[in-house]
Chains A and B, each alone.
Chain A
């Protein structure tokens, strides 16, 4: 893959050094024709004072000046704004990749034709389960068929098409049939994430996964990943799913183990806007805690350059939570801020972590999350949750044992104190957990890293040699 054909969203060392907002996710209206039960922004009605067309075009200009390479328009539903294709056209004039993320309800061929004329590059459609699950989740009968039609109509216009799926208790055991359906629909890119309790989602506690459900989910996703790989569907895990453990190497980099979770990018190389001009560090985060100001008060590039990312409460010295004392703490930093914020974990202690679930399971424990107070529902509102440790269910313990069959230990931070992970951790080719590049022995499976790498390389070389033999034999 060369630099020119690398996805626009991929970040380079220069992007980090310059703190360049490579990817912008922009809510251009809060107006929505669906009533999704998980919606963090509780979308439905437009905001009281949404940006005018001219103000939007100025935002596009500012983002271009900041070096943004990809803009995703979201809502609500972006196409419920009359001028949405004017915004698309302005983004394309400035040479940026432009996609929309949509529920697809009412996204007709006619609307898509206008968008294609304006230069739209891609359409991301949200499909959260098979038809019954999806329609119940999206709150409108017929929404699954509308989403499927949006995929079909977009593909017919040669747009790049992806699907996002939010996993809940309703879909947890139905991910494999969903993958088959997406393959049948001709989808090529699929991102799977967790339902996070924010906004309207604080009212649907029964749909939330418990941390130990990650065992069931990841067990299924390993099979799904292989099925997808065999059928031309690239599956990724979104930011809310992770982190490390024995499967991280598969889905963060579409099979490239050099790509792994590297901490939340909110406000570092990603930027978000609300439809009234509020600029913030991530589309899913609350602007009260993560906002930089309004594009009506200052140009977005000025707000961005003056911004500071909110730091987690607590420091490594005084905070003894799992995430702060974990082996991966310096790289992971507690995973997705949206998840930890929504659970009220201000010190970024994240129970939704596969590695953490496995570590606790090795002690016979799991964590249980309960809603204490749903608060007042509104855009990006948050509830109050409790997290307590309980004995792990026997059926989950069996899965955990299988996932950690090769692991002998769950080391803590400390041995790595002062080690800068730099660009990448490396995988142990025995247990496939990530380790710091300075390690000689894998602290998880206790195998020699060099020996495991050599064995892996030998296997790859053997495959290459055999492939050549086969080619020669068939050519003669």
Chain B
């Protein structure tokens, strides 16, 4: 996010989801899009889902 925010008054209206969580979400969205399009799933796609789930489990600090 490259800066320190002031969480004060109304919510910041210009910020986007950022950092590792933002990246993870972006990748997860793309995976979902690929899944919707791809008929024959490449094995890497399944692996990717597993790795994202692992990172989500760590980042959100709970068992997945």
Report B-chain residues with C-beta under 8 Å of the C-beta of A190.
11
Chain A residues within an 8 Å CB radius of B27? 463, 467
Interface residue from B9, B12, B47, B60 paired with A101 (Cβ < 8 Å): B9
Q: Decide yes or no: A456 and B58 within 8 Å by CB, A254-B17, A256-B19 being known contacts.
A: yes
Cβ of B40 to closest chain A Cβ, rounded Å: 9
A126-181, CB < 8 A from B: 160-164
Interface-lining segment among A209-217, A245-253, A320-328, A413-421: A245-253
B15, B37, B38, B54: the one contacting A7 at CB < 8 Å is: B15
* A99–B12 CA distance with the chains assembled, in angstroms: 10
- For chain A, the bracket of interface size reads 35 or more
Other-chain residue from B10, B48, B52 in contact with A72 (beta carbon distance below 8 A): B10
Q: Which residues of B contact A402 (CB under 8 A)?
A: 62
B10 to A162, Cβ gap below 8 A? yes
* B14 and chain A: residue at smallest CB distance: A7
Is the beta-carbon distance between A22 and B61 smaller than 8 angstroms? no
Q: In the assembled complex, how far is the CB of residue A161 from the closest CB belonging to chain B, in whole angstroms?
A: 7
Interface of A is mostly: mixed
CB within 8 Å for A122 and B13 given contacts A230-B25, A474-B37: yes
Give the one of A25, A226, A255 with max B CB within 10 A. A255
Question: Would you give the shortest CB distance from B4 to chain A, in whole angstroms?
Answer: 5
CB distance from B53 to the nearest CB of A (A): 11
CB distance from B37 to the nearest CB of A (A): 7
Q: Which listed segment binds B: A262-270, A297-305, A339-347?
A: A262-270
Task: Name the distance in Å between B60's Cβ and chain A's nearest Cβ.
Answer: 6
In the complex, A40 has a CB within 8 A of chain B: no
Proximity bits, A363-391, B CB within 8 Å = 1, else 0: 00000000000000000000000000000
What's the least CB distance linking B54 to chain A, in Å?
6
- A265 with B12, Cβ < 8 A, contacts A250-B60, A466-B47 known: no
A462 at the interface (CB under 8 A from B): yes
- Point out residues on A near B: beta carbons under 8 Å: 1, 5-12, 22-23, 25, 72, 74, 99, 101, 121-122, 124, 160-164, 188-191, 222, 225-226, 229-230, 234, 236-239, 246-247, 249-250, 252-259, 262, 265, 269-270, 282-283, 402-403, 406, 423, 429, 431-432, 456, 459-460, 462-463, 466-467, 469-470, 473-474
3 nearest A-B pairs in the assembled complex, by CB-CB distance: A255-B21, A124-B10, A256-B19
Question: Which B residues form the contact surface with A (CB < 8 A)?
Answer: 1-25, 27-28, 30-31, 34, 37-38, 42, 44-45, 47-48, 51-52, 54-56, 58-62
